[in-house]
Structure 1
Amino acid sequence: MHKLSPLALAVAGSFFAMPLAFAAEEVAKEEQKIEKIEVTGSRIKGVDLEGTQPLVVISADDIKNSGANSVYELLQDLGQVRGGTGTFSTSESGATSTSTPAGQAAASLRGLGPSSTLTLINGRRVAASSFAAGTQNFVDINSIPLAAIERVEVLATGASAIYGADAVAGVINYILKKDYEGAEVTLSYANSTASSNDATVNANLLFGTNIAGGNLTLFADLFDREGYMASDRDFTKQPALQSNYSYLPKLRDGVNINYYSARSGNEIGNPNCTSPLVTTEFGEEICAYYANQDDQLESPFESQSAGFIYTKDINGLVWNTDFFFSTTKSTAISSPAPIEQVEQINPDHGAWVPETALDIYPADYVDFLYDELWIDPFDTLAGQELWGFQYSARFNDPRTIENKTDSFRLTSSLGGDIANWQWESAILLSQSKSKQKAIAGIYNRYKYSALVHGELCSDGSIANFDEDMGLSCSSGQLLAAFNPLLQNDAANNALLSNAQEVPTRDGKSTVYGWDLRFSGDLMEFNDDFIRAAFGIEARKEEITDTPSLNARARPENRYLVDVFGFGSSLSEADRTQAAAFAEIYAPLSDTVELQLAGRYDYYDDFGSTFNPKVGLTWRPHDSLAIRGSWATSFRAPSLTQAGVKLRTTTATYDCSANQTVADLYCEGFGDVRRPNVLELGNPDLQAETSESVSFGFAWSPTDNTTLTVDYWQFSHEKLVDTDLTAMLARTATDASVRHCGLVPEGETGIAYNPDLCLVTDEAGLTVEDEGANMAQILDAWVAFDEPRFAELPLLRDHVIQLENVGQQDVKGVDLRFSHTLDFAGGRLGLDADWTHYVSFERNKAGSDEIESLIGTFRYPENIASARISWSGEAVYLGLTALYTSSYQDDISRLRGRNIDELTDLGLLDENGEREVSAWTTLRANIGYDFENASLNFTVDNLLDRDPPAVYGTARGFDSINHDAFGRNYRVSFSYFF
């Protein structure tokens, strides 16, 4: 028998409901009934919930007038998804394992993170991306075709009582078009007014017709966007600060001789550096690298999608099937990989080069270097002992990663009426498959090292060495040695291709689901009806993330990934889940309505949870609804978090969060460090929990005026993350997590330079001994080694495990106002949205101390928009202002040399702080509707305002809350057949 793919099974399964529909015709009612609509936030159909909950609806007209080319662009102005660091786009894509997966984007409500926002399509789930952002699984909203969306409903309050896991911050529900008749084609072109080519081309088709007694709606969408670099914008061409330099220049620019090999203890800059030498805080003259020269502000992105929705009414039974498939492709780049010594004893020490490499320099300079250098012996991979020195450099080509994702989603449902009850049952299959391939800038560390030492064979193997016979290859020929000091030599540069590798990464995420729901009148009460909904559902989720062998950290290889600068996770997990839910809507009086909901979820990995919700609405007047709700929610540990076997990444430790950590590992400063770590999953993780409260009112004094005001708050606990700061703080008192050399397999903790065990505290205890005084060991190390930095010497690949380590509490107020004025020639609209964050508190990493984030870096206090629009018989136009308030720059976490430069430039206030300016941009759009066509022209950032300067990030601006696109325009034309 041939094994059918999940897609084939799903397509076949979608038609199973057809014969059942005919078999069940006898239960259908003869009379035609008006369809009862289910609104996001409730499973009860047909109840007028207008005003009872803070639901934001982006209508078809809103989508048309937005000028958006993608779902991310449609949502990016919504106050509920702005603020904080949760929402991200392809501007954060990169080629490293800690970056956003290339070409993907996610929406986060209230800044609580993308995994705390539930994404639905037509009220049902979507498979998460197989490549997590960090360890957070999320739904890639770039995979959802904008052309298929009728409207978007956003409920930014806890909703697990209705929808289950992940609805901690709320729900974004994408409602697809259906029952469409006719055809339309839309073509659009967008670009910035900058000199670079940032063009976006988009074409979509929508077609609907009645066929076989039902309605078939077809859609297709093609999207192609160019990327652009920091070098394409005037304000990012140059580094934000001259002190943002790296000691690792590109090979072609001229390598530095590492300070570890210099007698003076200072880095020695290459006299042939292609850029002016930079003076460091130590007074050195070095050849430097600035990351902005390879910073990709937006990755190129392509997508194609198509699908259908078929709806058929069979004597009162409704059969509905919707299917879409999308494929996306994007290429992301990151700065060229640093070149490290193969054993990487200390990441501050460079790779070794034989002293013969100096022969390229004039004799007088060689004599100078011999006076300045320690020429030491070192062992090569083939077993030679050579004499040489260490150098600091990175490769020439940026790390370039190509990502391709194929996604599909299919649901098929059958529903009907039994007495006063509506029922519906559906099956769901959703899958996302991604493949990542490093196409440039990735080199094998062993091959490269052998190439520099003249030990690489043409077949990629390491040469054999014999004291008498010298070097020889078992197969292939011995290649010439690559000289990293030699610049602009074609033959020398061509040798590098022999060390290049193409690591890959394959991921697949699948969701299988089934549900059965009932909705109807429960009983008469107060001359009305108590209405209810209840149901059951079952779901199975699977996820795999499998990198090629050369991209994995393996114990047999001392956890060194075979290639420089590219790591990834090895992850595999699955789970099954079952749930039962119930919801009641009760009119307690003519003016008071009650909503009660509860849901029980069982997971076969972490257990069960029950989440209730209580909502109350009081209507003292027909024009006024006062509303409030309380609910609990949960987020199940993601499958990536539960199933990570070993993830190579970097982790952040924040010296401002813990003074002990600052004193031992940061010379007392409060900066942030990002060392290499190995991250382990944890099958014992508990679910994250949340409690949410909201109350407010909706007031419509006239048919043309609506004002809503809502206060909301979330208390989010048991957050899953790794906590390197806490692990480092733990080293002050816990010897079990202190290791001289690599952390042994099966253990966790911090890895130190092995030489640290050569010193002791005043009691004679080493760093690995229980009771050792770490401050005294630090003093002893400084006296023994005379290091450049007076801090404990970390090695690499500290091993940390995911845990439930954090909490966050956020409170705020939303205000929305809409008013229209009717005139003889048309309608004038006035709209305003404002989100005010009252507080956002989170525990500092590695500390129980709670820090207040509102007004700090990337957490603006106020986000708002205001729009004035005019719509006439054929013409419509609008002007929108988008506002993000000021907040503090991230000065405290900068290096001392950065702070010194900012002080010299006079950019800091008397408290050593700096405020990032508020940012307001304007969007204008104009459109005209012909008899069978429409034309729309939109200009974003009308005044071409640069984003505010931000020095707490190397980019020089905040790519989360601002953007670098500048003035850009979009023209679209639609024709209706």
Structure 2
Amino acid sequence: MYRKSLLATAVLSSLTMAPVALAADEDNVERIEVTGSHIRRADLEGPSPVLYIDAEQIARSGARDLGELLQKLPVSGSGSFSPQGNDSDSTANGGAGISLRGLGADSTLVLLNGRRIAVNAFAQGIDTAFVDINSIPVAAVERIDVLKDGASAIYGSDAIAGVVNVILKKNFDGTEFNFSIGDTSDGGGAEKSASLLWGHGDDKAHTTVILDYFKRDETLYADRSYSKNANQTSRGGGDFRSSSGNPGSYIPATVGADGSIIPKSDLYDWQPDANCPAGDSVGTFCRFNFAPFMTLNPATERTGLLLTHQRQLSDGITGFVEANVQHSRTDVHGAPSPSFGEFYMLADNPLFLSGEAVNPFPGEDLTMRRRTTEAGARHKQMESDNHRLVLGLEGQQEAFDWELSYTYSRSRNHEYGKSGFVQSSRFQDAINAGDFNPFSTTQDPDVIDDISVLTTRNGRSVTEAWDGQISGYAFALPGGDSQYAIGVEYREEEIEDVPDELFLRGEVFGTEATTAFGSREQYSVYTELALPITSQFDAQLALRYEHYSDFGSDTNPKIGLQYRPLDSLMLRASWGEAFRAPSLVQLGLGPTQESPNLIDPLRCPLTGASEDCDPLERTIVLSGNPDLQPEESESYNIGMVWQPMTNLEVVIDYWNYDQDNLISTDTQYRLTQFSAGVAQEGFEVIREPSAGGVPGRIFQIVDQYQNLGGQKTDGVDLDLRYSLDSNYGAFQFNYLLTWVNSFDEIKADGTKRKLAGEWRHPEWRWNATLDWSLDDWAATGRVNYIGEYTDNVDAGATGTVDSFVTFDGSVTYAGVKDWRFTLGANNLFDEEPPFSGSDFMGYDVETHSAQGRFAYAKVSYRF
């Protein structure tokens, strides 16, 4: 039985789980608000599993931002992402998102103090709307609650996989300075950070102010021995060097009066430039090793300010304010701009006529695959500003509690192309005039200046919300007093993503850009009941109605049950329905190019050629779909919380999710269906002219987002916590494991693809942490494990991506008054990420970290 004194400190529990409150004496236990319910309760453990991470555990983890911290959790799965792997083609440089259960970052609701945050103005991977968790300073975090259960009945849209609720510090007293530095063993990624915390208050009011600064240097793929060469054949992978090089490759083409270009690929093969180095001339192309130019982890600088203030306005009424701002800057680099047949050189070009260049196909007009290395590597700089303001009133009456609040949240992003970007029309004009010679690697600097351009992209995302709630006593039941909560919410959302006119006209080649506009209004009404049916059996009932201005309404219920047959044992179960509204980007995306690797199912059976039967880059023009409907999900959880002795706790939960109407752009599936004669709405394949009865090669595919199929997954979470006090110090052992039993991707026709244990879906993830403290000393060691899985067969890779095991450790000394010193290292033994043959960097950039050993030192002074 847990009393008030333990509950007051329970949120300062282990990284992996909170202490279990299995029974409560209502006369002596204070009720607290726990993520997953609008009703205050005595027990931390409820019908839905919640993971609690406190500020002390964040500090001991060695994580410098929330992205790094959350992605190490076993519940994090495929779809989580960080700035790692950002380059000049990324659509959300510098951002980080969390994907619980592998169901997607847009299916995980991120809250700040229980309220919504505006999504990042630039979507990840073109369409994934996400809250940039790195926009929340680590120094400002009191704790993080991870609700590992569907929760749309409680919180509304996007809570299909669960909720990450970040709780900010608001009752800090005193002044504290923190400073840290760190660096990697393998080069790149040096970091430094500093923060100032100040708080003061009395029984009437309290103010907390937090300043935070963070800076990280850039890491390039060239800084790692295994990723500095895109030709991975020496490691057992493929040759991923680009087919667009310098010198380039050429093929005869038909050039229309309008500038359209159709390669004569039915009559000729591509031919590499005669000056292409022998090692780069592979097949019909002159290859280019772009890896050394690419950013592995971008240079980042962030500055943040947080202010919280509460003031008692009268007996029973308190006003509160939350205000936070953060400015971030991120720099990424990519290889010089490539072209893949966008430009031509006529047979009567002045360079051919003068003899300064030799036409490898005399008398023919040419198109080319050529990289403009003369213009330099591409460099993008991203600046983002996140602003948030919450104003509210809360009060307590004899019969109920109430709260009213207004939230304004804005994410504003600016992206600047600083160098390496070339304007298509100027480049073509320079070729036509003979001022730029594609057959030479030396160009006139004035010509390069004339064809080079600076680019811009501006984005804005705004969320405004008004909400009100009352809660209190409902009626008496045999097990005690039932409680209720009733609330309303009105929300307005707006997003825009606007590249400059050059991008909109398709005038900048070799780099993808997006454009999107959208807005919506939404209101919701919800209710929740906590029912102590008997002294041992409780129930939670919740229902939420949502109405959206752009697609209609949705209603979601939830039922939770708790049964305590013993003081030391609690059994629990929950069931609920959840949904995700189509993102404003998915509804309003303008025509946007991407280049996925696709197989041509129409030509492959006829030609058997590798260019048709192997995955090859194809140009896709993708757009939004205003007719999209919300994704829907049904989930349930069955588990137990067992405390066989006072210093040992065991939590086991079985979870199951079934998601339908998944919004997707499964272009390969739709291409296969289309080639089989099945009509596909909003889908078109544009081919080159046919020859010899064989359909022409794919020139372009037009596609849009659709509600296609779904996904199902289930598995088990295991949480263990054991503590021991001895003459040698206090020990705390925590173990957190997630096992994925199944993860099925379901196509529109009902066919399933089993992904558990496949690419980016390891079946096993776990952390084991041992904390020790004695007098003025403390130490932490943690083992992080990601299980093996099959390599990416869609990219032509075979074999298995091995398991990845890393060790983090730190030592802290607090024996000097007001001071605290910490030395630590993450990935202490400098383990390299396991090999993957699916991409040029030689490892899975979304699942494994290439940071290597990172050693750091921290010092804190508080008075």
The worse-fitting range, judged by mean Cα deviation, of 675-684 and 945-954 is 675-684
The partner residue of 1:882 within 778, 784, 791 is 784
Partner of 1:815: 718
State which of 86, 90, 93 in structure 1 corresponds to 2:83.
90
2:638 and 2:655 in contact (8 A); partners too:
yes
CA 1:63/1:247 → structure 2, altered by over 3 Å: closer, same or farther? Answer: closer
Residues 47, 574 of structure 2: 8 Å contact kept = no
**Contact 1:322/1:412 (8 A) holds in 2:** yes
1:751 to 686, 694, 708: 686
Give, as a single letter, the amino acid of the residue that structure 2 aligns with 1:808.
Answer: Q
For 1:419, the aligned partner's letter is: E
Q: In the alignment, what sits opposite 1:76?
A: 71
Per the alignment, do residues 418 and 673 of structure 1 end up closer, same or farther by CA in structure 2, a change over 3 Å counting? farther
Q: Which residue of 1 aligns with 2:377?
A: 398
Give the equivalent residue in structure 2 for 1:728.
671
Partner of 1:919: 804
Match of 1:8 in 2: none
After TM superposition, give the deviation of residue 660 of structure 1 in Å.
Answer: 5.7
Q: Provide the secondary structure at the position in 2 that maps to 1:538.
A: strand
- Kindly state the Cα deviation for residue 236 of structure 1 after the two structures are TM-superposed: 1.5
How do 1:473-492 residues align onto structure 2 when only pairs under 5 Å count? 481-487=435-441, 489=442, 492=444
Q: Given the alignment, which residue of 721, 746, 754 partners 1:843? A: 746
Pairing partner for 2:520 from 572, 575, 585: 575
Aligned-pair identity (%)? 29
**Residue type of the alignment partner of 1:102:** N
Give the deviation of 1:453 after TM superposition: 2.0
Are 2:597 and 2:795, in contact at CA under 8 Å, matched by a contact in 1? Answer: no
Residue 430 (1) aligns with residue 409 (2): yes
Corresponding residue of 1:903: none
Contact 2:177 2:861 in 1 (8 A): yes
Cα deviation, residue 826, structure 1: 2.3
What is the CA–CA distance in structure 2 between the aligned matches of 1:732 and 1:87, rounded to whole Å?
Answer: 33
Residue 6 (structure 2) aligns with:
none
The question of 1:147 aligning with 2:139 is answered yes
Letter in 1 for 2:223: D
CA distance in 1, matches of 2:840, 2:200: 54
Q: C-alpha displacement at 1:848, in angstroms?
A: 3.7
2:567 to 610, 622, 630: 622
> For the residues of structure 1 that align with 2:424 and 2:30, how far apart are their CA atoms?
64
Partner of 2:16: none
Residues of 2 paired with 1:351 and 1:710: CA distance?
65
Q: Map 1:73-152 to 2 at 5 A.
A: 73-81=68-76, 83-84=77-78, 86-96=79-89, 99-133=90-124, 134-152=126-144
d(CA) in 2 for partners of 1:880 and 1:814? 18
Structure 2 CA distance for aligned equivalents of residues 699 and 262 of structure 1? 68
Give the distance between the partners of 2:386 and 2:709, measured in 1 at CA.
33
Q: Given residue 822 of structure 2, which amino acid in structure 1 is its aligned partner?
A: N
Q: Which of residues 199, 210, 226 is equivalent to 2:201?
A: 210
Match of 2:631 in 1: 688
Any idea what the Cα deviations from partners look like across 1:532-589, whole Å, max 9, x if unmatched?
1111111111111111111015xxxxxxx11112332322111111111111111111
The corresponding residue for 2:255 is none
Sort the Cα spacing of 1:737 and 1:852 in 2 relative to 1 into closer, same or farther, 3 A.
Answer: closer
Conserved? CA contact 1:428–1:514, under 8 Å? yes
How far off its partner does 1:733 sit?
A: 5.3
* 1:544 aligned counterpart, secondary structure: strand
Q: How does 1:164-203 map to 2 (within 5 A)?
A: 164-194=156-186, 196-203=187-194
Cα separation, partners in 2 of 1:661 and 1:215, compared to 1, 3 Å: farther
Paired amino acid for 1:750: V
**Most deviating of 695-704 and 205-214:** 205-214
Aligned to 2:362: 375
In 1, Cα distance between equivalents of 2:68 and 2:822: 16
* Structure 2 residue matching 1:50: 3-state secondary structure: coil
Change in 2 beyond 3 A, CA 1:932/1:247: closer
1:953 Cα deviation from its structure 2 partner: 2.0
Larger of the two Rg values belongs to structure: 1
Partner SS, residue 277 of structure 1 = coil
The answer to which structure has the higher strand fraction is: 2
1:446 aligns with 2:448: no
Q: Deviation of residue 277 (structure 1)?
A: 2.7
Pick closer, same or farther for the CA change 1:654–1:255 going to 2, 3 Å.
closer
**Structure 2: which amino acid aligns with 1:679?**
L
| Residue number in structure 1 paired with 2:543 | 598
- The corresponding residue for 1:768 is none
- Equivalent residues of 1:354, 1:453 under 8 A apart: no
Give the letter aligned to residue 849 of structure 2: D
Q: Does 1:524 align with 2:476?
A: yes
Match of 1:229 among 203, 213, 220: 220
Any conservation in 2 of the 1:696–1:710 contact (CA below 8 Å)?
yes
Distance change >3 Å, CA 61–CA 101, structure 1 → 2: same
Give the distance between the partners of 2:504 and 2:578, measured in 1 at CA: 36
Q: What is the distance in 2 between the residues matched to 1:737 and 1:524?
A: 58
Following superposition, the deviation at residue 333 of structure 1 comes to 2.7
2:55 is the counterpart of 1:60 = yes
Measured after TM superposition, the shift of residue 931 of structure 1 is 2.3
TM-score by length of 2: 0.90
Deviation readout 1:649-684 (Å, 9 max, x if unpaired) = 3355466xxx66853798587643442222222221
Shifted more, 351-360 versus 964-973: the winner is 351-360
Give the letter for the 1:331 counterpart: D
Structure 2 CA distance for partners of 1:733 and 1:852, relative to 1, 3 Å? closer
Contact kept? 2:316, 2:397, Cα under 8 Å:
no
Q: In 2, are the aligned partners of 1:542 and 1:575 still within 8 Å (CA)?
A: yes
> What code does the residue aligned with 2:786 have?
T
Query: Which residue of the partner structure matches residue 780 of structure 1?
Result: 693
Shift of 1:400: 2.2
1:417 to 369, 372, 396: 396
Between the aligned partners of 1:942 and 1:77, the Cα distance in structure 2 is 15
CA distance in 2, matches of 1:598, 1:123: 18
Could you say which residue in structure 1 is the equivalent of 2:4? none
CA contact (8 A) 1:670 1:893 kept: no
Deviation string, structure 1 residues 839-879 (Cα, Å, up to 9, x no partner): 000025x7642110011111111001112221112111121
| 1:974 aligned residue | 860
Deviation at 1:249, TM superposition (A): 4.7
Structure 1 residue 806, shift from structure 2 partner:
2.4
Structure 2: unaligned runs, 5 residues or longer: 1-27, 253-262
- Of 962-971 and 234-243, more deviation after overlay is shown by 234-243
Taking structure 1 as the reference length, what is the TM-score of the superposition? 0.80
Seen in structure 2, the aligned counterparts of structure 1 residues 604 and 79 have a Cα distance that, compared at 3 Å, is same
Distance (whole Å) between structure 1 residues aligned to residue 831 and residue 303 of structure 2: 32
Following the alignment from structure 1 to structure 2, what is the Cα–Cα distance between the partners of residues 832 and 66? 14
Instruction: Please report the RMSD computed on the Cα atoms of aligned residues, expressed in angstroms.
Output: 2.6
Does the CA contact (< 8 Å) of 2:341 and 2:368 recur in 1? no
1:452–1:614 Cα change, 3 Å? same
Equivalent of residue 805 in structure 1, options 700, 704, 708: 708
Q: Would you say 1:277 and 2:279 are equivalent positions?
A: yes
CA 1:336/1:690 → structure 2, altered by over 3 Å: closer, same or farther? same
Sort the Cα spacing of 1:665 and 1:854 in 2 relative to 1 into closer, same or farther, 3 A: farther
Question: Are residues 1:873 and 2:818 paired?
Answer: no
How far did 1:937 drift? 1.5
Tell me if the contact between 2:192 and 2:216 (Cα under 8 Å) persists in the aligned partners: yes
CA spacing shift, 1:360–1:891, aligned 2, 3 Å:
farther
Letter of the aligned partner of 1:780 in structure 2?
G
Q: Distance in 2 between matches of 1:724 and 1:262?
A: 24
Q: How far apart, in 2, do the equivalents of 1:69 and 1:313 lie?
A: 35
